[in-house]
Structure 1
Amino acid sequence: FFAKPMFGRMSSYNSPDASNSERESIDNNFDQTEEEISLGPEDANGAEDRPPLTFETSPSRWERFWRAISRAVFTLPILPELKALYQLATAVFLTSLGQNCLFFESNMICGSLGKQALAAVGLANSVIYALGHFLGLGLVTACDTFFSQLYGSPSRHRIGMLLQKSVMIISLVPLLCSAYFLNLEPLLLLIGTEADLAKEAAEYVIWFYPGLFFCFNSYILSRYLQAQDKAFIPLTATFLANAANLGLNYLLVIRLQLGLKQVEMSSSSFVTSGFT
């Protein structure tokens, strides 16, 4: 677009009649036009507004130290393994938490029935935990090692046989617990427990006793699935069992006001532990 004016200037520049001042003005105009072409209209207008060049100072000793630690931590080769372990451990933790919350939910619901019922349920759950739940849970813990080793070995097909053996063995444990569960009332009276409290606690334990079979078997099935990296299945079942337990307790105890025996029935194997 400036070709024609520039041609006229060059012709006047080369003419013999041109003076030195005219040639200097043509040179200045040419330099200015060349600068505008090289910078562009935006750069030419903002050339004066550019900030001065600044140089960053060297980082301090602590900054270099933390940068080195950050690079070392976030480039570790074990980070993918830690991520996979975290995902598996979170599901296992939530499953174990949900299984143990079944007892807590019964205590929470029985608080609306009065102090006597709350004390009886608390005492009964303590006996179930100490003399039944922890006994079976300790035996089931061995399945973690057996299932994991067998699943990672060439004899992976034998893991089903190990599951059957574990279920048969753990099903015998509640039979051993029946010796003191069925005779809990005289044992509580022997240590000085009040008669009414001992009777209600013993009745609660008897109603909950069938649930031990399903509790222990559910623990084995959870270990069996977790060893095969299927931890989401027992987590879902535990969540649904807690929802069913809370719903039935609320319906039978708070809404229908059927009393303590309905808490025992809803917390027993036929409703919650068997569902898990």
Structure 2
Amino acid sequence: MNRTDSESNGNPSFLGTSYRSQRSFLSSTPIAQESILRDLEDEDEREDNEEEDGVAEEADRNGQNNGLPIGQQSEYSMTSSFRRTSHVAYGPRPLFPSAQPPEAYLTQEDRQAALDEERSLLRDNHLIPPKHPRRGSQASGRLIHRVSIPFIPRSKSGAVDEESAVEGEEGEGVGPTEQSPLLSGDPTQPYGGEDTPENINRKWEAAVAAGKIQTTWQREAKVLGRYSRSLILTFILQYSLTMASIFTVGHIGKLELGAVSLAGMTANITGYAVYQGLATSLDTLCAQAYGSGRKHLVGLQLQRMIYFLWIITIPIAIVWASSAQILHAIVPEKDTAVLAGQYLKVLIIGAPGYAAFESGKRYVQAQGKFQATLYVLLICAPLNAFLHWLFVWHFGWGFIGAPISVVIVENLMPVCLFLYVRFCGGMECWGGFTRKALKNWGPMIRLALPGLVMILAEYLAFEILTLSAARISATHLATQSVLSTLSSLTYQIPFPISIAASTRIANLIGATLTDAAKLSAKVAFTAALIVGIFNMVLLSSTRNYIPWLFTNDPDVAELTSKILPLNAAFQLFDALAALANGILRGMGRQEFGSYINLFAYYVIAMPISFGTGFGLHWDLYGLWAGPALALGIVAGVEGWFIYKTSWEKAAEDAKRRNTMG
């Protein structure tokens, strides 16, 4: 029997002894299991001993789940279904609600967050006392309230919060009885001293089983806002990296505006989408490696992906270097193709840095350090805007200054991410450079290819409109650049809200709180409706002013202002479709959303766009009519599906998945 078999069968420290580690490894995909097992087989005896000592030490620290012994977690616990709020889907406008990576593994912060959520819901339902202790004569006030002596007046300072007296200490969700103690807990402590993990889990299990956990519109709105606010900022900052070139170059002329849009589209499809799609395999591999307790395997997977993407950069660089000739064969405007080719040639310098950043982003996300990306963007996004102004306008470099700014920032982002890992956290998963990163690429590549197909499909549907507009005229291409930039920018609000809604609904369904999940979905739909109407009104009312932010060309500005009302109507459907996709992810039914999106965009939208745009000569009106109709279909069909779907069955499916884990 080899080492792997013997340890997995007989050694309780294999892959970490904590409950979360065992659940995570067993619930991983077969490909991820294969990758981890291969890596483990390659370890020598010294490394085995060192790692197992470390795993045993971590098990001592993390071997409890919310205060309960391993394997005795409450069947209704939110810990068993906990999903992080900061998972970020990739691509500027994801059309398909692709599945989020498995997150059965939990860090200490994850478990604490789940415990806090349970405690908060218990408090709001008056099942434990409020957080802040009462002032004044607390003990006497509580005694007076419990025994209900009518002739002893209550002083104002000794008044008892009604929330604190609803539940008895021994009742597990049942009110006080004759056998309940007159005094329990410690009223001077937060939550009356009842917020121990053991007590929270006991009360939570009893309350959920008795149907006592309810939520409110106000609470769900607050949770949705708390979950989504940092995501919105992150998404806007990330998209600003692309938008900076459109803003600065667009004021040079419509030829340059069209060229930067064409170059960006080509870079997305042939380069950035490839990096993002292939790197999605780390969402599984790094996550499962971290959850298995073998943290050094996270750094090993990172090295493999960086090397792999750098090899892929060679054919990408060849395509970008010859892009002027390739684009000229597709786009009638030769000058536009030449400028776009110049832009792409400069981008080659930043490609290795972009590949490293995409891989490093997964490295920190696997450890639950989602704030790392936000901190990097808070530095790089403003710098990106400044460099565009400096090179394009202040130094007078013109069009070529934009890609130079981009490559500087692309190479700076992985450096900033490294500094975060080195000085702020994440080095525990880095085992140093090793030759093992040069082998065992098979599982990584097999996981990467489906992600590549999905990301390319997401990019292609809208980017194909840019290529189509280039065949009409330079003015139409420049206008398409403005319209697509605006629609992508406004999308950075409803899409993060959909991620937040997905997280919240998944957590509630996992805890079998179907009524609360339904209410959360209603709140989220209302928020999406408000955001969609806001974006629609904003673009419609400012249609004569917004174009001048992107260009000084009167023809482009006039055409953009004419088509903006159609683009504005598109916003309402866009927000509702994004939210519907998020709810489907939370319910675990994202495959239905994928089918609907695929059908709506590629079977309905594209033929309509080409037919009306070129067949009926509606030009950009026709090109945008297809996606607008498709989004309306997606929002309507998915909304109807969500309305008809059994939430109780979704909770049963989630419970079965958690049990299998």
Verify same fold: TM over 0.5: yes
Q: 1:218 to 1:94 in 2, by over 3 A?
A: farther
Deviations 1:14-71 (A, max 9, x none): xxxxxxxxxxxxxxxxxxxxxxxx9xxxxxxxxxxxxxxxxxxxxxxxxxxxxxxx95
Indicate conservation of the 8 Å contact 1:92/1:231, yes or no: no
CA–CA separation in structure 2 for the residues paired with 1:95 and 1:179: 32
Matches within 5 A, 1:72-111: 72-74=213-215, 94-95=233-234, 97-111=236-250
1:216 paired residue number: 355
After TM superposition, the structure 1 stretch with the greater mean CA deviation from structure 2, 161-170 or 119-128, is 161-170
Deviations 1:113-145 (A, max 9, x none): 111111111110010011111111100111111
1:15 paired residue number: none
Q: CA RMSD in A?
A: 2.6
Matches within 5 A, 1:125-144: 125-144=264-283
CA–CA separation in structure 2 for the residues paired with 1:247 and 1:205: 21
TM-score (norm 1): 0.65
Indicate conservation of the 8 Å contact 2:286/2:298, yes or no: yes
Structure 1 residue 241: Cα displacement: 1.0
CA–CA separation in structure 1 for the residues paired with 2:325 and 2:364: 41
- Structure 1: tracts of 5 or more residues without a match: 1-37, 39-69
Indicate conservation of the 8 Å contact 1:92/1:226, yes or no: no
Q: 1:148 to 1:91 in 2, by over 3 A?
A: farther
Letter in 1 for 2:334: A
Do residues 116 (structure 1) and 250 (structure 2) align?
A: no
Matches within 5 A, 1:175-194: 175-194=314-333
Structure 1 residue 257: Cα displacement: 2.7
CA–CA separation in structure 1 for the residues paired with 2:374 and 2:331: 41
Structure 1 residue 74: Cα displacement: 3.5
Q: 1:96 to 1:136 in 2, by over 3 A?
A: farther
1:206 paired residue number: 345
CA–CA separation in structure 2 for the residues paired with 1:174 and 1:255: 32
Do residues 258 (structure 1) and 411 (structure 2) align?
A: no
2:292 paired residue number: 153
Structure 1 residue 98: Cα displacement: 3.2
2:430 paired residue number: none
2:365 paired residue number: 226
Deviations 1:167-206 (A, max 9, x none): 1111112112123211111112212432211111100000
2:411 paired residue number: 274
Q: 1:165 to 1:215 in 2, by over 3 A?
A: same
Give the count of matched residue pairs. Answer: 198
Indicate conservation of the 8 Å contact 1:110/1:121, yes or no: yes
Structure 1 residue 147: Cα displacement: 0.9
Query: Identity across aligned pairs (percent)?
Result: 25
CA–CA separation in structure 1 for the residues paired with 2:233 and 2:302: 23
CA–CA separation in structure 2 for the residues paired with 1:157 and 1:252: 42
Q: 1:118 to 1:197 in 2, by over 3 A?
A: same
Indicate conservation of the 8 Å contact 2:364/2:372, yes or no: yes
CA–CA separation in structure 2 for the residues paired with 1:218 and 1:210: 14
Indicate conservation of the 8 Å contact 1:107/1:121, yes or no: yes
CA–CA separation in structure 2 for the residues paired with 1:100 and 1:212: 17
Structure 1 residue 159: Cα displacement: 1.6
CA–CA separation in structure 2 for the residues paired with 1:163 and 1:96: 23
Larger radius of gyration: 1
Q: 1:159 to 1:237 in 2, by over 3 A?
A: same
Letter in 2 for 1:249: H
Indicate conservation of the 8 Å contact 2:392/2:400, yes or no: no
Indicate conservation of the 8 Å contact 1:237/1:275, yes or no: no
CA–CA separation in structure 2 for the residues paired with 1:157 and 1:136: 23
1:16 paired residue number: none
2:312 paired residue number: 173
Q: 1:72 to 1:107 in 2, by over 3 A?
A: same
Higher relative contact order, chain-length normalized (CA < 8 Å, sep 6+):
1
Q: 1:72 to 1:117 in 2, by over 3 A?
A: same
Q: 1:95 to 1:167 in 2, by over 3 A?
A: farther
- Structure 2: tracts of 5 or more residues without a match: 1-150, 152-210, 414-661
Indicate conservation of the 8 Å contact 1:91/1:231, yes or no: no
